[in-house]
Chains A and B, each alone.
Chain A
Amino acid sequence: MNSTRSSLSQLDDLLQHRVRLGVCVLLGGESQLSFARLKDALQETDGNLGSHLAKLEQAGYLVVRKEFQERRPVTWYRLSGTGSARLHRHLAALDAIIHAARSARPGSG
């Protein structure tokens, strides 16, 4: 129980929302992803995704870069050092909670 409480306290408030967690998980595996790529993967609207990305950027989890590709503006996102550290801590906490829940099940030995 104490370890579960401790893990719960390690969960990141910003990453509790699945869109923001999804963004960080996707960026954790790549160098950079464009807005369009993130939108396609997460199947979110421009407005909804944009607001979540803005929150992550404001909190310092993302680094944003804009450029032009064939005269079209493209916005690239990557995880900052802070974002990467927070993501790993959040995932480790989730892992610990799931492990504790499984261990607490009757007959789990």
Chain B
Amino acid sequence: MPPSDPDALEDLAYIRRAVERNRTGDGDPASWILWSVLVLVGFPLADLAPHSAGLYWLIAIPVGIAVTLWRGARLMRGRGKLLRRDLLVQGLLHWVGMLAAVAMLLSMVSMTPVSRGPAVMIIVALTYFLYGLHVSRRFLAFAAIVCAGAYGLHVLGAWAWTILGVVLASGFLLTAVLEIRRRPASDA
């Protein structure tokens, strides 16, 4: 079966198209909307009620991750796909690592309140970047937003958190809209 054989090339194209079809339409718009709401509430808290922001995220992040994972697994099962456990664990470890790094940073490194925000956002940006490399490419764009946000927190004064929150939440909402458009007809 030489590579120039048209039948062989058509067979490879057939398989490539099948793989691409299997990859599309796997997103969950509701989870993107959930995170959009969590960010829209949580980020302005850092400007309006800074003492409440820590407690808010301590609850919101684990709940958000748990709901996202539960919905994702249920949705994929309904769409005829059971994900490989090693891939699930690989994805989850990114977020666990992020939370561990933030916890260590806040508990072990002495920083002013003004420095804390950008430092945490740099860790979040790095996690989004690595998740984008290893799991889902769209997170690379969010990594860029959060990285720019970290810089914004560093140079801007008032309302920097709110601005970053609105930009990030808008990105999540846009992703939800794109996922709704790409959703398979069987989901309706």
Contact = CB atoms under 8 A, between A and B. Distances in A.
Size class of the A contact interface (CB-based, 8 Å): 20 to 34
Contact of A30 (B3, B21, B81): B81
B22 A37 contact: yes
Interface in A52-109: 69, 74, 76, 94, 97-98, 101-102
Q: In the complex, which range does the number of interface residues on chain B fall in?
A: 20 to 34
Contacts of B83: 30-31
A74 B78 CA distance: 10
Contacts of A21: 11, 15
B71 interface: no
Interface string B78-113: 111111110000000000000000000000000000
B1 interface: yes
Most A-side CB within 10 Å, residue of B2, B4, B11, B81: B81
A22 B15 contact: yes
B81 A69 contact: no
A98 B8 CA distance: 11
Give the most central of A32, A41, A94, A98: most B CB within 10 Å.
A41
Given A31-B83, A31-B85, A76-B82, A41 B77 contact: no
B109 to A, nearest CB: 40
Given A74-B80, A98-B3, A18 B21 contact: no
A22 B82 contact: no
A33 interface: yes
A18 B14 contact: yes
A29 B14 contact: no
Interface in B1-27: 1-4, 11, 14-15, 17-19, 21-22
Contacts of B22: 26, 29-30, 33, 37, 41
Contact of A25 (B1, B15, B82): B15
Contacts of A76: 82
B89 to A, nearest CB: 12
B80 A22 contact: no
A34 interface: yes
Contacts of B3: 97-98, 101-102
Given A35-B80, A40-B80, A97-B1, 6 more contacts: A26-B22, A29-B84, A32-B81, A36-B80, A76-B82, A98-B3
